[in-house]
Structures are given as structure tokens and as C-alpha cells.
Amino acid sequence: MLKKIILYFHQKLWRTLFLVCAGVLFAVTLSSIINIESVNLLKQKVALPLQVIYAALIGFIAPGPRYILYPILIKLYEFGINLGVIVALISGHVLIEPSTVLVEAGFFGYRFPIKRFVVSFIVTFLAGMVSSVLGSYVW
Amino acid sequence: MVKRLKKAGADIKIAFLLIALSIVIMLVCKLNFLSILTINKAIIFKIIYLTGFAIAISTAIHFLIPEDLAEKHLKDNKLIHLFYATLLGVLTPGPVYAIYPIVLELRRKGVGSAILVAYLTGQTIIGPARAPFEIGLFGWKFYLYRILLALMMGPLAGVLFIAFSKVWPDREIRNP
């Protein structure tokens, strides 16, 4: 049993680490472009509900595994971006991806992923807006 | 090399795509690779060792939680079942692709689409393997808040899916 567990852990670790390292490289490269001025400009020019909508949509189309977003989120957090935007980005990134839409359409028919996309978008937006109100209690 | 890449899994292909995208961004924005690594070395090391913890947690759950747990506890589209489905999703480790065979089997056994949506929402939005990352980077309060939020988002997604399905019903899946 122990041998089985170690083998499973070993196989999963190296495969995941390769993907995570590639993802982190992409994330830190992308976060190098983000600076405090652009974040401040975004906060001033774009209203909060629209920021949450953009975050959810960027999350939906963002490529890569779940963990790659964290370096970008840390930078946004340090620059004082609203919690609602961070929650919308995390939730949007994982709920629907272009590749899973195709997989789900193949398994369940095209209506299932379309409805799931709409539902996920509404739920992510609501979660983002609730989080923006509760931000000061959570941090 | 190209033949080996074609045979590789989706995750390996995505990893190569991400490396290629990073190189393109570095070239277009004239970024220095070494300076990016130096500036971000603390976060890179943190994410790598947290990945080890995350894999350890998902390995433990893989061997502790029976495979038929979801099938036993998900029957129809009642709100409490939507909540159970979300909770089971939250507890299920692994990438979303790994759970599609489970989801397809549940669908074939007559589990409603709304339940599956709640399960998929719970599974993707948060999971045990995320704990080291979110606690390590943002703290306990943030992770607990995210769990609570996920437990509300899953049933809500299920309820909205039921509402949409009344207007636009799902296509019937034929058993093979």
C-alpha cells in the first residue's frame, strides 16, 4: 500500500511540477508588465462592477493550470486592488475554460457548456460583488 | 521531437504553450529573463514547495475517499443535494479533466444536470490542493472565506441552471 501511495505521489509530483513551473514562468513574466501606475489608472477610470466583469472574463479566457494566477494575484493584492476583482479572477479562471467547453460539448451536448458558461458568469459576478463589500473583513 | 510532443498529454502541451507565450512576451516587451527570475525568486520557491504540499494532500484524499461517494449521495435536484454535490466537489482533488469520467458516469446513472453543475462548480472553484497556496500566500481568513463562498456559489449555480433549463432544456444523452 505504501509503495502504491509513493508511486502515485511520485508520478503526480513531477508531471504537475513541470506544468506549474511553466505556468509560474508565464505568470511572473506577465506580472512584470503590471505596474502600480496602470493599476491605479484602472481603479480610477473603471467602475468596480465593470472591473469585476472584466476580471471574470479575463479569468474565463486565461490559459493554463489553476496555480499560475497566484503570482499575478499577489502583485495585484500588493497594489491594493479590490478583493472582489481578485475573487472574480480566481473563480473565473477555473470555472470555465475554452478547452473544457469543447470537452463538455462532446460529453453532454452543446447546450450544457453554454448554460454552464452563463451560470458561471452570473455566479462569479455575484461572488465578486459580495467580496468587494466584505473585503475589509476578509483581509 | 514533434512526434513525441504530439503524443504527449494535454497538460504537457499546455506547459510548452505557456513557455512559448512567456518567450514571446519577453521578446515583445524586451524583458530580461534573469532579472524576472531574480525579482520573483521568493514567490517562485514558495509556489514550488507549496505544490509539493498540494500533491501530498490530493494523494491522501485519492486514497482515503471512496470513488462511489458522489454516486451514493447525489440523487435529484433538491437544494440539499445541490449543497452535497458542491461539498463533494470541494473535497474532490485533481484537475477538472480527471473528474469528467466520474461526471459522465453520474449522468448515465440519472443524476440531474443541475447536480453535476453544482459538483463541477465546487470541484473547480476550490479544493484541498489549493489550501497550501491560499493559506500560504493570503492567510487562513481568505481561504475560509473562499470555502464559504464556494459552498454558496455551487448551489446557486445549480439553481440558476434549473431555471435556464426550463427555458432551454438539455439534450437527452443516449446510453452506449
Q: What ipTM describes this predicted complex?
A: 0.81
Distances (CA, A) of B10 to A7, A100, B6, B15, B16: 21, 12, 9, 9, 10
- Our CA-based measurement puts residue B176 at a distance from the nearest CA of chain A, in whole angstroms, of 12
* Cβ density class A11-22: b for 16+ within 10 Å, e for less: ebbeebeebbbb
Using CA atoms, how far apart are residues A138 and B141, in angstroms rounded to an integer?
A: 6
Cα separation of A54 and A128, whole Å?
Answer: 11
Q: Of B51, B149, B160, which has the smallest distance from its Cβ to A17's Cβ?
A: B51
**Contact call for residues B146 and B73 (beta carbons, < 8 A):** no
| Sign of the CA dihedral running B142, B120, A89, B17 | positive
Contact predicate B1/B16, CB 8 Å: no
Q: Please give the average per-residue pLDDT across A30-46, as a whole number.
A: 81
Per CB-CB distance under 8 Å, the chain A contacts of B176 are none
How far is residue B162's CA from residue A49's CA, in Å, rounded to a whole number?
A: 26
Residue at grid coordinates 448551489: B155
- Total CB pairs under 8 A between chain A and B: 180
Residue B107 pLDDT: 79
Say if pTM beats, i.e. exceeds, 0.95: no
Alpha carbon of A113 to those of A50, A53, A118, B116, B128: distances in Å? 24, 19, 9, 12, 25
Segment A10-27 shows an average pLDDT of: 81
Cβ partners under 8 Å of residue B47, min gap 6: A20, A24, A67, A70, A71, B133
Contacts of B135 in chain A (CB under 8 A): none
Q: Do A18 and B12 touch (CB under 8 A)?
A: yes
**A127 contact residues in B (CB cutoff 8 A):** 149, 152-153
Per-residue pLDDT of chain B (176 residues; tens, 9 = 90+): 667 767 777 667 777 888 898 899 899 988 889 988 898 888 788 888 777 877 787 777 677 766 666 666 666 667 888 998 899 888 877 666 667 777 777 777 778 889 999 989 998 888 777 888 888 888 899 999 999 999 999 999 999 999 999 988 876 655 44
- Closest-CA distance of chain B to residue A18, Å: 7
